[in-house]
A and B are shown apart, each in its own frame.
Chain A
Amino acid sequence: MAVALYLDDVVLVDRCLSGEAAATRELFRAHRARVHGCLYRVLGTNTDMDDLMQEAFLQVFQSLRRWRAEASLATWIDRITVRVAYRHLGQRKRRGVTVEFDIEQARATTATGPAQQHARDGVRRLYAALDTLSPAARLAFTLHELEGRPMVEVADLTGTSVTATKVRVWRARRAVEQAAAADPILAGWIASGDAMGGAA
Chain B
Amino acid sequence: MTPGQLRGRVPLEPLDDERLTRLERAVVSGAPVPSAPIRRRHPGAWWLAGAALTASALAAIWLVRRPAPMPHVVATGGGSALVLAPAPGSDEPVVVVAGAGGAHVDLGDARIDAAAQTSLTATRPAIGSDRGVLVELAVGSVEFDVDKRGTRPPLIVRAGDVDVVVVGTHFTVRRPADGGPIEVDVREGLVRVVRGAVSAAVGAGQAWSSSTGEVVAMVVASRDSVVPPVATADAGGKRGARASGSGARPVTPPGAVVAAVETGDLGAAIRRQPVARGIDVDAAGPNAALATLRQRVGAHGEAAAAALYGMARLQALSLGKTDDALRSIDAYVRRFPRGAEIEDALWLRLRIECRTQTSEACRVAAHSYLRAAPSGSAKAELATRVTRRGP
Contact surface of A with B, Cβ cutoff 8 Å: 1, 3-5, 7-8, 10-12, 14-15, 17-21, 24-25, 28-29, 32, 36-37, 40-41, 44, 46-51, 53-54, 57-58, 61, 65, 71-72, 74-75, 102, 105, 108-109, 123, 126, 145-150, 152-153, 173, 176-177, 180, 190, 193-200
Contacts and interface: CB of A to CB of B under 8 A. Distances in A.
7 contacts: A1-B371, A12-B239, A41-B12, A54-B23, A153-B301, A197-B11, A199-B11
B253 interface: no
Nearest to B201: A11
Given A4-B229, A196-B11, A190 B190 contact: no
Contact of B38 (A5, A11, A51, A150): A51
B9 A195 contact: yes
Given A53-B27, A146-B10, A153-B301, 11 more contacts: A1-B228, A3-B203, A4-B203, A4-B231, A5-B229, A5-B334, A8-B240, A10-B190, A12-B240, A54-B23, A180-B1
Question: Which of B4, B10, B167 has the most C-beta atoms of chain A within 10 angstroms of its own C-beta?
Answer: B10
A164 to B, nearest CB: 17
Contacts of B371: 1
Contacts of A71: 337
Given A7-B241, A41-B10, A148-B300, A14 B167 contact: yes
Contacts of B26: 54
B346 to A, nearest CB: 11
Contact of A51 (B10, B41, B300): B41
Contacts of A105: 13
B3 interface: yes
B128 A36 contact: no
A200 B4 contact: no
A147 B10 CA distance: 9
Interface string B208-229: 0000000000000000000011
Question: Which of A71, A148, A198 has the most C-beta atoms of chain B within 10 angstroms of its own C-beta?
Answer: A148
B9 A196 contact: yes
A25 B21 CA distance: 11
Contact of A123 (B10, B167, B335): B10
A180 B228 CA distance: 54
Secondary structure at the A interface, as helix, strand, loop or mixed, is: helix
B65 interface: no
Interface string B310-336: 000000000000000000000001110
Interface in B330-358: 333-335, 337-338, 340
B37 to A, nearest CB: 8
A19 B129 CA distance: 8
Nearest to A198: B11
A173 to B, nearest CB: 6
B167 A150 contact: no
A149 B4 CA distance: 10
B379 interface: no
Interface in B273-326: 298-304
A150 B305 CA distance: 11
Interface string B172-214: 0000000000000000001010000000010110000000000
A104 to B, nearest CB: 8
Contact of A195 (B8, B38, B167): B8
B171 to A, nearest CB: 15
Contact of A7 (B10, B15, B243, B337): B243
B189 to A, nearest CB: 9
Contacts of B203: 3-4, 7
A64 B33 CA distance: 21
A40 B12 contact: yes
Contacts of A195: 8-11
Given A7-B203, A150-B302, A24 B5 contact: no
